[in-house]
Amino acid sequence: MTMPVSARGDSKVLVGVDYYPEQWPRARWPIDAKLMADAGVRVVRVGEFAWSEFEPAPGRYAFAWLDDALQLLRQHDISVVLGTPTATPPAWLIQRHPEILPVDPDGVRVGFGGRRHYCPTRAVYRRYAGEIVTSLADHYREHGAVIGWQIDNEFACHRGGCFCEECRTTFQRWLQRRYGSLEHLNETWGTAFWSQTYTAWEQIPLPARTVAVHNPALRLDFQRFVSDAYTEFQDLQIEILRTRCPRHFITTNLMGLFDELDYFKLSRPLDFVAWDNYPGYHGPADPVRTAMAHDLTRSLKHRKFWVMEQQAGPTAWEGGVDRSPPPGLLRLWTWQAVAHGAEAVVYFRWRTATQGAEQFWHGILDHDGRPRRRYEEVARTAAELAGLELPPDAVPETPVAIVLSYDDRWAWKIQPQHAAATFDRRVGDWYRMFRDYGIGVEFVAPGEPLRGYRVAILPSLFMLNDATAHQAEEFTRTGGLLIVGPRTGVKDETSRVRDVPPPGPLSELLGVEVDEYDAIGTDDAATVDLTLPGLPSLTGRSTIWSDVLGPRSADVVAVYRDQYYAGRPAATLQMAGRGAALYVGGFWESGLLDGVVRWALRQQDLDAAVVRRSNAHDVEAVVWRSAAARYLFLLNHGDRSASLGLAGQWAELATQQPQSETVSLQPFAVKLFVAR
């Protein structure tokens, strides 16, 4: 399916807003539509929380109000993404079927009054959800303003799994399909431990509150089941929409680095993916983490994406109002999304609500609905994007792959190896190091081919199956550089700890085994001396974890200087076929990781886009490529001016004037270049 922007006859980035006409007087709608059009808004998302407006009583549908709102939007050449309203089942439905409400791990059924108050496995809920989606699809299938659909809203936000009796019986049936026999399940789960052997499927519990802790294999399979339940609920709606609205695209709004669902699986049947970006929610924005979320979203289908909710002002739920984005930051966040592959940026929300739970989650307009600074900034940004001229085949350049497994993320959460070994440390540190040189990164699911990448990273892939190990070996022997982090290969895909030392099935390729390990405190760092070929020796700290390595055929490239394992190997390197495999046995500080990245770029003949300057740590560089040219986005996320050096020859895109080696950027500035 072509992307909706192409369907409109152009390839410009769409600017949009999330709009709730049902929350405002009808007399206001024409004013809103005109203000949107004047600001360059070309798409709105509507309806995702409006079930009680669409169906005020069972089987009695009321679409006239939205028809009128959509007609006004259409008159201003504004297209519409229609949300299915299944995230907010109405009060009459809960009154009829209170069993729809989810049950928490303590066995307490939650009450009506928020959102996402449903159990995704409930057959009765799926029936009602299918009916409202069918009615909406039939009514809007030929509507000229509607271009696509958003399924539900932020699946599993606030609450993931449900612990009701229907979930338990559905989980047991899911296990039967997965394992076939109780003998196989008992063997796979290791139920001989603590006398947990099952002799009937009905005996298997959900991992609700219990004495001590549940079997980690049960907990892992329950997380898989929950993810599959949401995917099935989404697929039910997709099937209805595909049948009735074949010309509309279908997406849903994900949540970036959220880890309760397998986003690779959830994304497969969608035409493209979208996500909700709130960089300033609960604290200062971390531009690298936001960039990582953008890149993960793009990687889910390896194509451009939408931001379906983009922060438009200060945010607040119950913890107080967050800082207001200063002038220029909304523009910068929008350009950052575009630089990472967003072809639509939809601001949340159009106008700040005067009622309800999000009264202080600010939109483009404040409560009074009057255009002010944020409105003007969005309008200027929309005008800039309307003038952006890049070839249609231009895409972010990504020579580095990080293998990311949701099974692995769940396994690590179930049995954390160290409290400080967060996702940001295990994965984000590697991402940050390559991004610092303008080297693009994609995320790859286990089993996806690694062909076309130059560097592949297995960052503490705790749960490593044989297929992924084979994938990594093929990549390396055919010329790739493989980098493997600590705690890789500890478990297989069933959550069983392997009866061979880490890195398990990668030991032969890497030429090393872990002789022992030490979960060190962050205050008890181990000092490491690193000497990589062609790189000056470096000394730095390894915190959180120390793998004490036993090389079998690999060369030692780092040793510990202190702790009881002083003098023992901390990292190894082995040539394999036409490639090389590096094992890093700890969570290293940035100086050491920077050395590894500089060596990797040289090893794989990769050109860094930028040369760092000491005062440019807030500058982000993103390189794009097309068949004819390369492009460079520079974004200063700092509130101070910054300067940095460019590697290679570039000209400013707008003027085609050659750029000197050093570039200066004002606070929150964005500059685009083309390679000369």
Residue 453: name the closest of 430, 476, 434, 431 by CA.
Answer: 476
Q: Is the dihedral of CA 98, 104, 106, 110 positive or negative?
A: negative
* Cα–Cα dist 657/652, whole Å: 6
Residue 427 vs residues 375, 405, 443, 587: alpha-carbon distances, Å: 36, 11, 10, 10
* Cα–Cα dist 277/294, whole Å: 9
Residue 363: name the closest of 348, 375, 376 by CA.
Answer: 348
Question: Cβ of 649: how many Cβ atoms within 10 Å?
Answer: 11
Determine the 3-state secondary structure of 260 from DSSP.
coil
Sequence-distant (≥ 6) Cβ neighbours of residue 669 within 8 angstroms: 328, 332, 634, 635, 636
Residue 490 vs residues 377, 468, 469: alpha-carbon distances, Å: 50, 13, 12
Which is catalytic among the residues 48, 53, 260, 309?
A: 309
* Cα–Cα dist 48/151, whole Å: 8
Task: Say which amino acid occupies 252.
Answer: T
Active site residue 22: no
* Cα–Cα dist 425/433, whole Å: 12
Active site residue 474: no
Residue 217: name the closest of 190, 195, 192 by CA.
Answer: 190
Q: Is the dihedral of CA 273, 278, 283, 288 positive or negative?
A: positive
Peptide bond into 287 cis (omega under 30): no
355 close to 16: Cβ distance less than 8 angstroms: no
Residue 346 vs residues 40, 316, 317, 321, 383: alpha-carbon distances, Å: 12, 19, 21, 22, 15
DSSP 323: P
What's the Rg (C-alpha) of the chain? 26
Which is catalytic among the residues 154, 473, 493, 620?
A: 154
Question: Which strands, in side-by-side order, build the sheet including 342-348?
Answer: 249-251, 146-150, 79-83, 43-46, 14-18, 342-348, 305-311, 274-277, 253-254
* Cα–Cα dist 274/291, whole Å: 14
Strands 274-277 and 305-311 come out as parallel
Which tokens go with 11?
Answer: 């390839």
DSSP 503: T
Catalytic residues, which ones? 154, 309
